[in-house]
A and B are shown apart, each in its own frame.
Chain A
Amino acid sequence: MKALKQVFGGKLQQYTMALALIALVVVFNVISGGRMLTSSNFQNLISGNAYVLILAIGMVMVIVIGQIDLSVGSVAGFVGMSVAISIAQYGFPWWAGLLLGLVLGVLVGMWHGFWLAKMGIPGFITTLAGMMIFRGLVIWISHSISVPVPAQFSYLGAGYLPEWGPAWTGLNNSTLLLGLLALAWFAYSEVNRRRHAKARGSEIPLWVTGTRVVLIAAVIGYVTWLFGSGRPGTSFPIPGLILVVLVIVYHTITQRTRFGRHIYAVGGNRAAAALSGVNTQRTYFLVMTNMSFLAAVAGILFIGRSTAAGPSDGTMWELDAIAAVFIGGAAVSGGIGTVVGSMVGGLVMAVLNSGLMLMGVGADQTQVIKGLVLLAAVAFDVHNKNQGKPSIIGTLMRNVGKKPDVAEVPAGTPEAQHLAGTPEVPGEGPAADNKATIPS
């Protein structure tokens, strides 16, 4: 047990939802006779859900500031349709259409941000209006007719990385390269971790580092093999690559920049944030603008995958994104939620969907099961909060990458006790804290 903790950083119990995801994949794989864990199924899983996951990245930021964006589906549909029409009917080159779509997304977001931040209209209302406005515009500009998009978009929305280099690897070499890069990065950060720990005077046992590296290498290796060993011509999908880049960028923004801190501060206690020098209006504005920008990206990927923009694109996407964010541990009241957590939440939904489809379960029952999972995940989170423990899923992902490793702390320190689950040291009582001689 102690060994496990040292390897996983002592917060094993916080990885509940990630473990649930793995368990889900494994169970479905067994039930479906090995159809779950195949190259093509995972390629499908990623390309087929990239748009929801990208929306969830923006949505978690919106939910963290204590707002909600109901318009993302309509905005994605609107941008997709605008891009398709600009190319098909106005002769834009494909890249200009793409650019137009991204600019439109930003403009739409600024529109929402203006009403929320400057006019003080609640986000629910602002984006409910946006949902109607942009759905109406999609139908208006398209006359309810689907519009095909050029092949370059298919590459973005459903394409694969190129094949090159020697065939003896038995894998798609682009995927292999990505896997190696990831591996190198993890190894580097492990070594770095050791060095910093040493600088602070606490030694990480070599076997801990070794086990971690081996474990991470096994996981990355397996994933690389899974995606790379598919039919020739397939690889880690392009939309997946776009997603990974966005996750890294947004994880960094939310966890490692001042703007990111401001998002959590505004969501946690708006008044306190304002009195700490956070420009709350600007934060609201930027988060809403960013949400619609990401909705535009999602819409563009989707029309690529669909090879055409349709009048009903984006219907109900907002709800899928919101569900992913809440399964990923965000709090309805704001202030809590992470990009990585939301990705896990979105993948749980995606794997459920895929697994149930592989089992031949109908759409009706799938909906019921997804609804129950959403409820169970949030109830679990709420239950844990009521127990006074930190929100498992919430803190889990938020702390990823910034928590000090338990191995850096010698056993027996308060830190170690805390991590071992001993209750918080109660606050000072009059006696406990009374160092001075005070008559009373």
Chain B
Amino acid sequence: MTAGQLLLDMRHITKVFPGVKALDDVTMSVRRADIHAICGENGAGKSTLMKVLSGVYPHGTYEGEILLEGEEMRFNGIKSSEEHGVVIIHQELALIPELSITENIFLGSEVMRGGLIDWEAARRQAVDLLARVGLDISPDTQVKTLGVGQQQLVEIAKALSKNVRVLILDEPTSALNEDDSAHLLDLMRGLKARGITCLMISHKLNEIAAVADAVTVIRDGRTVETYDVVAGQVDEDRIIRAMVGRSLENRYPHRTPKIGEILAEVRGWNVEHPSVPGRLVVKDANFTVARGEVVGFAGLMGAGRTELARSIFGHSYGTYRSGELLIGGRPVHANTVQKAIAAGIAYVTEDRKNLGLNLIDDIKATVVSANLNGIVRRFLLQPRLEAEVAERYRRELRIKSSSVDVGVATLSGGNQQKVVLSKWMYSSPELLILDEPTRGIDVGAKYEIYKLIHQLADEGKGVIVISSELPELLGICDRIYTICEGRITGDLPVSEADQETLMRRMTTTSTAPAAPALSA
């Protein structure tokens, strides 16, 4: 075996999106036939790095160089990276549900004979590949009939069909149950034995400990450290610290909370999945928000944070099953967004581009869009009022643009978010729910958003902040709820909370152990 020698070297990779530096001078090396884990918070730049490596972002759109076996690679697309044996399997699987396994495996690299697809040969090869990934089903099966774990294996079979040398897996087990995860990890060990190098993005520290030979931690678009797991130097605490361990000083504005009476109370809230009847995505949620209070919701993606928030906001997600919402002590039956807005609720979505903004609009149209009545005089919208309102927010929130006539699509993430916040501030809400309010935003703009959140609370409003970034919650909230698998699992005053405690509660359901035990 030629394991141990350098296979892949990524040097000084820098990738800039408009307004955001996603990768900043990242350097990392991978040895042949290693399983190399990449860790980092959401948005740290892991996926971006892997997309650079696999040609999703072609050569020329980033700075730095990629060396494979000492040779510089200039991939201009996935096709060219696959030719060199670098294959990526995305978190969202890219299989076509209506096609069979064989058709999916050879999609784009069909087995040809005489200008036609040789389905017999393709099928024989597919049987072979499925055996290699340990999947014992007919290759004629339609992919849509497979479970997620099996689909994952089909993806790997597809990668193997391309003579893969470096296999990139983006959170491969995030959607799998324990058996499937175990099988997948076994398979990765098998691939390693055959000399295939695996790069694995993962949050699950026990998995890393179980299979990885090395770990690279990325934070804020930079490489923090690379460790060898073999030597037993890695433990959970060290990785967590590396992932989140930046200096917290001055990153969050200082504030003395002035907490008033209870503003909003939710009791026994249950929400069913919109398309899977019977599956509850929010289970018996109870929580309160007081005037002047900033309440955090911590939870992993898919834990039910957004689902809960949107359900409260006019039942705009899933099917409302039961539960009571009280605002100012009075029950509110807000089953449409219109009623929720009228009841004084505002919801700033996590998905700004798809759910939060009409990218065609300009700033002023966006600012007034949730409260058009505010600019109606004599039954007509008044453009002058609209411009005045927008101009006021542009000044107050320091939105960087030449005027309020500028299209929101041209703004940076931070300024877009300020526009969205303006829109909801103009609807004069009592309760603001901010879902990932700083996602995709630069550090500097984050600071301004934090100040704004504090200012809103100080004006006597109740603010809920949902975030995947624990330091952020710890930095700006007064109280933090943790949520796991649709259930609220903790309610901690910020003074009693730290990242480890939160993380444990976020990953703890009643049935699982408190923390994944590490066994190398």
A and B touch in the complex (CB under 8 A): yes
Chain A residues in the interface with B (C-beta under 8 A): 196, 252, 255-258, 260-261, 264-265, 268-269, 271-279, 335-336, 390, 399, 401-404, 414-415, 417-418, 424-440
Segment of B151-159, B323-331, B380-388 in the binding face: B380-388
Between A275, A434, A440, the greatest number of chain B beta carbons within 10 A of the residue's beta carbon is seen for A275
For A196, the closest partner residue in chain B by CB is: B384
Known A261-B369, A272-B355: A256·B19 in contact at CB below 8 Å:
no
Residue contacts A-B, CB under 8 angstroms, 11 given: A260-B381, A264-B365, A401-B383, A424-B406, A425-B402, A426-B412, A428-B412, A429-B442, A432-B444, A433-B444, A434-B447
Residue pair B361, A264 in contact (C-beta under 8 Å): yes
Which among B246, B379, B381, B400 is the interface contact of A261 at CB below 8 angstroms? B381
Please tell me the number of chain B residues within 8 Å of chain A, measured between CB atoms.
Answer: 61
A426 contacts across to B, CB distance below 8 A: 18-19, 412
Interface contact B444-A430, CB-CB below 8 Å: yes
Q: Which residues of B contact A (CB under 8 A)?
A: 18-19, 21, 220, 246-247, 249-251, 253, 313-314, 316, 336-338, 340-341, 347, 349, 354-361, 365, 369-370, 372-373, 376, 379-381, 383-384, 386-387, 400-403, 405-407, 410-415, 423, 442-445, 447-448
Q: Closest CB of chain A to B18's CB: distance in Å?
A: 6
Contact status B361-A268, CB under 8 Å:
yes
Q: Is the CB of A272 within 8 A of B354?
A: yes
In the A-B complex, list the 7 residue pairs whose CB atoms are closest, starting with the nearest.
A427-B412, A434-B444, A268-B358, A414-B402, A427-B19, A402-B383, A433-B444
Beta-carbon nearest neighbor of B347 in chain A: A275
Residues of the B chain whose Cβ atoms lie less than 8 Å from the Cβ of A427: 18-19, 400, 410-415
B19 touching A429, Cβ below 8 Å: yes
- Cα distance A430–B445 in the bound complex, in angstroms: 8
A117 to B: closest C-beta gap in Å: 15
Residues of A within 8 A of B253 (CB): 436
Chain B residues contacting A424 (CB-CB under 8 Å) are: 401-402, 406, 410
User: Given the complex, which residues of B lie within 8 Å of A269, measured CB to CB?
Assistant: 354-355, 357-360
CA distance A439 to B248 in the complex (A): 9
Contact of A440 among B220, B314, B376 (CB under 8 A): B220
Interface centre among B360, B361, B412 (most CB of A within 10 A): B360
- Closest-by-CB residue of B relative to A331 is B360
Which label, helix, strand, loop or mixed, suits the secondary structure of the A interface? loop
Question: Which residue from chain B places its CB closest to the CB of A409 in the assembled complex?
Answer: B403
Closest chain A residue to B386, Cβ basis:
A402
Q: What are the residues of chain B within 8 A of A415 when measuring CB–CB?
A: 402-403, 405
Given that A261-B369, A336-B360, A428-B400 are contacting pairs, would A275 and B355 also be in contact in the complex, using a CB cutoff of 8 Å? Answer: yes
Tell me the bound Cα distance from A428 to B384 in angstroms. Answer: 28
B247 with A439: CB separation less than 8 A: yes
A264 CB contact (under 8 Å) in B340, B349, B358: B358
Contact between B369 and A276 (Cβ–Cβ < 8 Å)? yes
Give Cα distance in the complex from A210 to B448, angstroms: 46
B445 cross-chain contacts in A, Cβ below 8 A: 428, 433
In the complex, what residue of chain A is closest to B379 when comparing beta carbons? Answer: A257
Beta-carbon contact of B250 and A275 below 8 Å: no
Q: Are A256 and B442 in contact (CB under 8 A)?
A: no
Does B347 lie within 8 Å of A428, measured CB to CB?
no
Asked if A425 and B401 sit within 8 Å, CB to CB, the answer is yes
Question: How far, in angstroms, from A401 to B381 measured CA to CA in the complex?
Answer: 12
For B442, list chain A residues within 8 Å (CB).
428-430, 433-434
B443 A430 Cβ-Cβ under 8 A: yes
CB proximity of B22 to chain A, nearest CB, Å? 12
Closest Cβ neighbor of B447 among chain A residues: A436
Q: How far is the CA of A435 from the CA of B356 in the complex (A)?
A: 26
Q: How far is the CA of A53 from the CA of B333 in the complex (A)?
A: 45
Report A-chain residues with C-beta under 8 Å of the C-beta of B349. Answer: 272, 275
Q: Which residues of B have CB within 8 Å of A265?
A: 358, 361, 369
Docked-complex contact A277 and B358, CB < 8 angstroms: no
B400 touches A425 (CB 8 A): yes
**Cβ of B401: which chain A residues have Cβ within 8 Å of it?**
414, 424-425
- B407→A276 contact, CB < 8 A: no
Complex-state Cα separation, A415 to B384, whole angstroms = 16
The distance from the CB of B172 to the nearest CB of chain A, in whole angstroms, is: 30
Known: A264-B358, A272-B354, A440-B220. 11 other contacts (CB 8 A): A257-B380, A268-B360, A269-B359, A404-B387, A418-B405, A424-B406, A424-B410, A430-B444, A434-B444, A435-B444, A438-B444
Give min CB distance, A160 to chain B, whole Å: 33
Q: Are A261 and B372 in contact (CB under 8 A)?
A: yes
Are B21 and A430 touching (Cβ within 8 A)? yes
Contact between A335 and B220, CB atoms less than 8 A apart = no
A374 to B220, CA, bound (A): 49
How far apart are the CA atoms of A434 and B398 in the complex, in Å?
A: 12
How far is it, in angstroms, between the C-alpha of A422 and the C-alpha of B107 when the chains are bound? 46
Q: A30 to B18, alpha carbons, bound, how many Å? A: 51
Most buried by A among B220, B370, B444, B447: B444
Nearest opposing residue in chain B for A261, CB measure: B372
Min Cβ gap A390→B in Å is: 6
Residue of A nearest to B313 (CB): A275
Output the least CB separation between A439 and chain B (Å): 6
Residue in A closest to B340 when the chains form the complex, CB atoms: A277
Do residues B19 and A275 form an inter-chain contact, with CB atoms below 8 A? Answer: no
In the bound complex, CA of A272 to CA of B352 (Å): 9
Q: If A261-B365, A275-B316, A439-B247 touch, does A428 touch B341 (CB 8 Å cutoff)? A: no
Most buried by A among B354, B357, B386, B405: B405
In whole angstroms, what is the CA distance A372 to B355 when docked? 37
Of listed B21, B372, B376, B411, residue having the most chain A CB within 10 A: B372
Q: Are B356 and A272 in contact (CB under 8 A)?
A: yes
- Bound form: Cα–Cα A431–B19 in Å: 10
Chain B's nearest CB lies how many Å from the CB of A421?
A: 12
Q: Collect the chain A residues with CB atoms within 8 Å of residue B337's CB.
A: 274-278
Q: Is the CB of A438 within 8 A of B251?
A: yes
Closest B residue to A424 using CB positions: B410
**Contact across chains for A335 and B412 when beta carbons are under 8 A apart:** no
Q: Tell me which residues across on chain B come within 8 A of A417, comparing CB atoms.
A: 402
Q: Which residue, B411, B414, B442, has most C-beta atoms of chain A within 10 A? A: B442
Expressed in whole angstroms, the minimum distance between the Cβ of A389 and any Cβ of chain B is 10
Contact yes or no, B358 A439, CB < 8 A:
no
Contacts of A430 in B (CB 8 A): 21, 442-444
Q: Name the CB-closest residue of B to A418.
A: B402
Contact of B370 among A257, A271, A277, A399 (CB under 8 A): A277
Q: How far is the CB of B443 from chain A (nearest CB, A)?
A: 6
A341 to chain B, nearest CB (A): 14
Closest A residue, CB atoms, query B338: A277
Q: When chains A and B are docked, how far (Å) is the Cα of A258 from the Cα of B369? A: 9
Query: Quick check: A268 and B381 within 8 Å, CB to CB?
Result: no
User: In the complex, what residues of A have CB within 8 A of residue B383's CB?
Assistant: 256, 401-402
Residues from chain B with Cβ under 8 Å of A276 in the complex: 337, 369-370, 423
- Nearest chain-A residue to B339 (Cβ)? A277
Q: CB distance B400 to A433 under 8 Å? A: yes
Contact of A273 among B247, B314, B358, B407 (CB under 8 A): B358
Q: Could you tell me if B338 and A258 are in contact, using CB atoms closer than 8 angstroms?
A: no
Minimum CB–CB distance from A50 to chain B (whole Å) comes to 26
Q: A269-B357, A275-B349, A418-B403 are in contact. Are A438 and B370 (CB under 8 A)?
A: no
Residues from chain A with Cβ under 8 Å of B355 in the complex: 269, 271-272, 275
Question: In the complex, A336 Cα to B401 Cα: how many Å?
Answer: 22
Pick the residue among A260, A390, A428 that contacts B407 (CB under 8 A): A390
Cα separation A252 to B338 with both chains bound (whole Å) = 24
